Homo-oligomer: A and B are copies of this chain.
Amino acid sequence: MQSFEIYGGIAGLFDFGPLGAALKNNVEQLWRNHFVLEEDMLEISCTNLTPENVLKASGHVDKFEDFMVKDVKNGQCYRADKILEEHIDKVLAKKAKKMKEEEIKNMELIKAKADSYTQEELSNILKELKVKAPDTGNEIGEPLAFNLMFSTQIGPQSSSKGYFRPETAQSIFVNFKRLLESNNGRMPFSAAQIGLGFRNEISPRAGLLRVREFTMAEIEHFYDPEVKTHPKFDLVKDECLPLLTKEKQIAVESPITSMTIAEAVETGVISNETLAYFMVRTYHFFQAVGIPKEAMRFRQHLDKEMAHYARDCWDCEVETSYGWIEIVGHADRACFDLECHSKSTKTELLGARPLKEPIEVSSTLLLPDKKLLGKSLKKDCKILCDYLDSLDEEQKQAVHKQYEDAETEFNVDCGSKTITVPKDAINIKIDTKTVVEEKFAPHVIEPSFGIGRVIYCIFEHCFRKRPNSETRTYFEFPALIAPVKTSILPLISNNEEQLKCVRDLKSKLNKEGVTSKIDDSSQTVGRRYARTDECGIPFAITIDNDTLKDNTVTLREIHSMLQVRIPIDELSITILELSKGLSTWEDAQKKFPAFVAEKEE
């Protein structure tokens, strides 16, 4: 529902009502189960407020922007690439019949490239095509870069600029050292975070799909680039995903569907096992939340689409009434992010791999006799010592060679000054150590989920109509993520005994892990079933006169609309097993006697 509706609402901000919020919680919990728990990931939870220097290092302060244009008369702002795309759609819809094939192709190419143009290119194209403000037809101004982050001030001193994070990933990268420690220094490992991201969209559209505040679930899998295998790849290697490769896109063809994941990695279609493994896991996750296989495809980024540091990138797209939309990105980001933060903080962000054989490493120690040096060099002593301290092994070896070649003194070029050093004022030692591991810059695979978009797709793909009825609609959510597992419908009119029975049943179910919603309104049971169905509650329990006698209730399943008579004590286990897919509704129908009610209205 639109946020702050009674205040007229704000574009791009939406609230989740009771059913949406419950569905969202369940989807997040399933995601956690499917990824974090099943893959032993380190889940962390970091702040949204982020100081400027972190996002400066990551490139967001300088590069995280869209181009906007203003209606010159009323000042309304538009995203330049979006109005360009819309303009082309309109032109093609109107005039395609009269245009040459070449012209049409050219228009389509401009549309495909719309979000990758530079400021100058955009400016020229908008002028050339005479694009106007879509709401008024007024002239538009020059495209201007607009940073998409929400900025704020942290604390009362004016020096601390901060932003609300545009993604959760950066807080995982800056915690890399801690995470590696808590994994006992072992690689590979994955960290994950479910949390908010904020993007100050210029003009948000498309309902829940392009919003200013959204929940993301991101994984950063850190691994040794020299290890080409993923330990669990064997478990998925024979699966076939719908792969819309770069080549297929350029040739305007359908996705490949018959290639196993193992073949895809072997032939280089997908760049490595780890990336491929996560793509399959995403495919499984979407099936578990109710997205049919036919409505999914994995689209590889074209070379010009990818950030310069990315090596391969596959979006999981789902077909919706808005067309195919990106729900999850799977990017091979190489070592880009850790290197940025490492440089910017002068902190070592490396992993270590054991060496096959321990090796001997010698290091040169330059030991100045500061007393002697002080006497002969005076102030230059400090310059020399600082300089010697700053040298790496190779440079130290060069100084060592000079030392050996010299007779009584030798010159050291300290950068700012060349200093003549008496040989007896310096001692040189060679230290030899046995090293069992070597350091390396970890690479990163990043699967990044937009949870709001996942929810949107679930709503679209779980919506059903009853046969022979246009008006009776329901949501057939997988029971595992259904907002509420069962409704409780008392059929007897209000009395104390029944009231207690309903309340006790609800409390018992809750303790046993089954969520429920009571509907004790005075409406007919048929009307109440319909309401249950509209909320996507997969099961419904009725409490009737027999319940008070023999402790049994009826249990109805949403899709079949059939009921069984079941003892209260077996309710929770039955509903839980049905929800987790450990048993089926057919099993329950065999186990418990059918209950035949009057036909639902």
List the interface of chain A (C-beta within 8 A of B): 1, 3-7, 10-18, 20-22, 24-25, 32-33, 37-38, 40, 42-51, 53-54, 68, 75, 77, 146, 150-157, 160, 162, 164, 171, 174-175, 177-179, 182, 184, 196, 198, 200-203, 212-213, 341, 344-345, 347, 349, 506-507, 510-511, 513, 515-518, 521, 580
Residues A22 and B4 in contact, CB atoms below 8 Å apart? no
Q: List 27 A-B contacts (CB under 8 A).
A: A4-B171, A5-B178, A6-B341, A6-B347, A7-B51, A7-B53, A7-B54, A7-B174, A10-B49, A11-B155, A12-B155, A15-B45, A17-B42, A17-B182, A18-B42, A18-B43, A21-B43, A37-B516, A38-B506, A40-B506, A40-B518, A48-B48, A77-B157, A150-B154, A154-B200, A155-B203, A164-B164
Residues B3 and A18 in contact, CB atoms below 8 Å apart? no
Across-interface contacts of A48 in B (CB, < 8 A): 48, 196, 213
Task: State A15–B20 Cα separation when bound (angstroms).
Answer: 27
Task: State A12–B146 Cα separation when bound (angstroms).
Answer: 30
Across-interface contacts of A517 in B (CB, < 8 A): 40
Residue of B nearest to A512 (CB): B580
Across-interface contacts of A38 in B (CB, < 8 A): 506-507, 510
Known interface pairs A45-B24, A153-B150, A202-B156; A178-B1 also in contact (CB < 8 Å): yes
Residues B3 and A46 in contact, CB atoms below 8 Å apart? yes
Task: State A22–B513 Cα separation when bound (angstroms).
Answer: 19
Residue of B nearest to A152 (CB): B150
Residue of B nearest to A14 (CB): B47
Across-interface contacts of A179 in B (CB, < 8 A): 17-18
Across-interface contacts of A54 in B (CB, < 8 A): 4, 7
Q: A47, A75, A201 — which one has the most chain B CB atoms within 10 A of its CB?
A: A47
Across-interface contacts of A201 in B (CB, < 8 A): 155
Residues B44 and A174 in contact, CB atoms below 8 Å apart? no
Across-interface contacts of A213 in B (CB, < 8 A): 47-49
Residues B511 and A580 in contact, CB atoms below 8 Å apart? yes
Across-interface contacts of A49 in B (CB, < 8 A): 10, 13, 150, 198, 212-213
Partner of A37, one of B3, B6, B510: B510
Residues A17 and B1 in contact, CB atoms below 8 Å apart? no
**Least CB distance, A499 to chain B, in whole angstroms:** 9
Residues A10 and B154 in contact, CB atoms below 8 Å apart? yes
Residues A156 and B212 in contact, CB atoms below 8 Å apart? no
Residues B68 and A43 in contact, CB atoms below 8 Å apart? no
Residue of B nearest to A16 (CB): B45
Residues A50 and B155 in contact, CB atoms below 8 Å apart? no
Task: State A342–B51 Cα separation when bound (angstroms).
Answer: 37
Partner of A32, one of B7, B25, B518: B25
Residues B155 and A152 in contact, CB atoms below 8 Å apart? no
Across-interface contacts of A12 in B (CB, < 8 A): 155
Across-interface contacts of A349 in B (CB, < 8 A): 6
Across-interface contacts of A164 in B (CB, < 8 A): 152, 164
**Least CB distance, A539 to chain B, in whole angstroms:** 16
Across-interface contacts of A45 in B (CB, < 8 A): 15-16, 20-21, 24
Task: State A201–B154 Cα separation when bound (angstroms).
Answer: 9
Across-interface contacts of A345 in B (CB, < 8 A): 6-7
Known interface pairs A33-B510, A175-B15; A3-B47 also in contact (CB < 8 Å): yes
Across-interface contacts of A13 in B (CB, < 8 A): 47, 49
